[in-house]
């Protein structure tokens, strides 16, 4: 058994899949205890071993959504096909609902600075670049009061629910003057196969997320964002330089840096710090897992319970649901 792979899949099961996807929980725990499968996965390049990508590649090729025993019986004879998909594809989960936990920050920035220019690092198809086009339904805690926010034109076809503390409820949908993103492999939603891959990345039981993906994709495909292909460390500064004069620039990323090796994460952070030193009109929002940016996580003194950390300019602000389902100010 390859212990590193076993630990990776067990951690995924116990920290990410538990209570979120029973199928992925069982699959990951099954692989964690399977000598042959851990050895097979260990041959893959480092970032290609990730459970989400291996599972999505399997589903892309028709793996049955059942027990781990069923998956294994399907997977063993088709392993070479799965490997080809794993090597050709990447995890580009593009969850529009993450806008619901970005909005409390964007709303305040808009109130303070006026128009915003958004630059997303790791944009995939750019669904998170449209916070001004979605509707929001915030369930304010404690209690069950609902705060409704809609774009200026009225209720959107994409409605994002989110639990939030009373202090953090946003008061307005900001005005976005410009939006752009950088991704190694930008996704064009006008191509059916690329949309199909995004759908496959949605976890098996998450029917509401699949429906939301298609509604957001239709909205974005009608007015595609400016997406640049390339490494985020290398290309983000040049995209920032294209932002219109007068707009406050917001560079953000959500669940992206985890897919970079540690040295590239450090390079990205250094790049953001350098840009901020020379550009007082720039805000940096990070939305990452606890292990991804340790210098930010070290400032969080409470148990995250599987949530991610949303930080502004390197300072943790809130614990948020991985798919934008909750926002709790620290």
The lowest-confidence range among 16-20, 41-45, 161-165 is: 16-20
pLDDT, residue 143, reads: 79
Predicted confidence (pLDDT) per residue in 266-287, tens digit: 999 999 999 999 999 999 999 9
Mean pLDDT across the chain: 95
Whether the pLDDT of residue 4 is over 90: the answer is yes
Both tokens of residue 279? Answer: 């550009």
Please give the pLDDT value at position 47.
87
Return the H-helix or E-strand segment holding 285.
strand 282-288
pLDDT at 141: 87
Among 19-23, 69-73, 309-313, whose mean pLDDT is lowest?
Answer: 19-23
Cα separation of 80 and 59, whole Å? 14
> Mean pLDDT across the stretch 236-261?
95
How far, in Å, CA of 113 to CA of 250, rounded? 11
Percentage of the residues of the chain whose pLDDT score is greater than 70? 100
Map out the domains of the chain as residue ranges: 3-88, 96-329
Asked whether the predicted pLDDT for residue 15 surpasses 90, the reply is: no
Distance CA 247, CA 267 (A): 26
Confidence at residue 308, expressed as pLDDT on a 0 to 100 scale: 94
The answer to whether 23 and 204 have CB atoms below 8 angstroms apart is yes
Q: Please state the rounded mean pLDDT for residues 154-183.
A: 96
Residues 110 and 116: beta-carbon distance below 8 Å: yes
Average pLDDT estimate for 139-144: 87
Residue 58 has pLDDT above 90, yes or no: yes
Q: How confident is the model at residue 142 (pLDDT cuts 50, 70, 90)?
A: confident
Q: Is residue 93 pLDDT above 90, yes or no?
A: no
Strand 116-121 to 248-254 pairing: parallel
pLDDT for res 304: 87
Per-residue pLDDT, 68: 97
What sign does the dihedral 117-256-75-78 (CA atoms) show? positive
pLDDT at 92: 82
User: For the segment 29-38, what is each residue's pLDDT rounded down to a tens digit?
Assistant: 999 999 999 9
What is the edge-to-edge ordering of all strands in the sheet holding 308-312? Answer: 145-149, 135-141, 159-165, 326-329, 315-320, 308-312, 282-288, 248-254, 116-121, 176-183, 226-229
Q: Is 286 left (phi over 0), alpha (psi -120 to 50) or beta?
A: beta
Question: Is the backbone of residue 191 left (phi > 0), alpha (psi -120 to 50) or beta?
Answer: beta
The model's confidence at residue 190, banded by pLDDT at 50, 70 and 90, is: confident
**Strands of 122-241, DSSP E:** 135-141, 145-149, 159-165, 176-183, 226-229
Cα distance between residue 9 and residue 15, in whole Å: 10
**pLDDT given at position 16:** 86
Smallest Cα–Cα separation from 179: which of 217, 134, 233, 225? 225
Q: Stretch 154-174: mean pLDDT, rounded?
A: 95
pLDDT number for residue 210: 92
pLDDT tens, position by position, 212-225: 999 999 999 999 99
């Amino acid at each position: 058994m390859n212990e590193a792979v076993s630990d990776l899949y067990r951690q995924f099961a116990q920290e990410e899949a538990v209570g979120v996807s029973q199928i992925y929980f069982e699959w990951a725990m099954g692989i964690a205890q399977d000598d042959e499968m851990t050895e097979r996965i260990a041959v893959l390049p480092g970032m290609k071993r990730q459970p989400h990508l291996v599972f999505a590649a399997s589903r892309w090729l028709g793996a049955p959504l059942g027990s781990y025993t069923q998956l294994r019986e399907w997977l063993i004879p088709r392993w070479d096909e799965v490997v080809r998909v794993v090597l050709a594809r990447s995890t580009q989960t593009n969850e529009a609902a993450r806008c619901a936990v970005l909005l409390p920050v964007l709303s305040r920035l808009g109130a303070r600075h006026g128009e915003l220019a958004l630059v997303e690092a790791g944009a995939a198809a750019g669904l998170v670049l449209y916070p001004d086009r979605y509707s929001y339904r915030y369930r304010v805690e404690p209690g069950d009061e609902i705060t409704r926010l809609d774009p200026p034109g009225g209720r959107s076809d994409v409605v994002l629910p989110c639990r939030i503390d009373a202090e953090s409820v946003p008061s307005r949908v900001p005005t976005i003057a410009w939006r752009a993103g950088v991704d190694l492999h930008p996704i064009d939603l006008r191509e059916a196969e690329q949309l199909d891959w995004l759908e496959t990345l949605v976890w098996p039981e998450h029917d509401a997320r699949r429906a939301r993906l298609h509604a957001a994709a239709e909205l974005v495909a009608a007015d595609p964002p400016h997406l640049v292909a390339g490494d985020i460390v290398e290309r983000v500064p040049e995209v920032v330089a294209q932002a219109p004069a007068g707009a406050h620039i917001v560079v953000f990323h959500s669940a992206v840096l985890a897919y970079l090796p540690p040295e590239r994460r450090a390079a990205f952070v250094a790049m953001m710090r350098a840009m901020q030193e020379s550009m007082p009109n720039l805000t940096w929002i990070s939305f990452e897992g606890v292990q991804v940016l340790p210098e930010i996580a070290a400032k969080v003194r409470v148990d995250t319970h599987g949530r991610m950390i949303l930080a502004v300019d390197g300072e943790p602000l809130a614990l948020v649901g991985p798919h934008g389902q909750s926002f709790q100010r620290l």
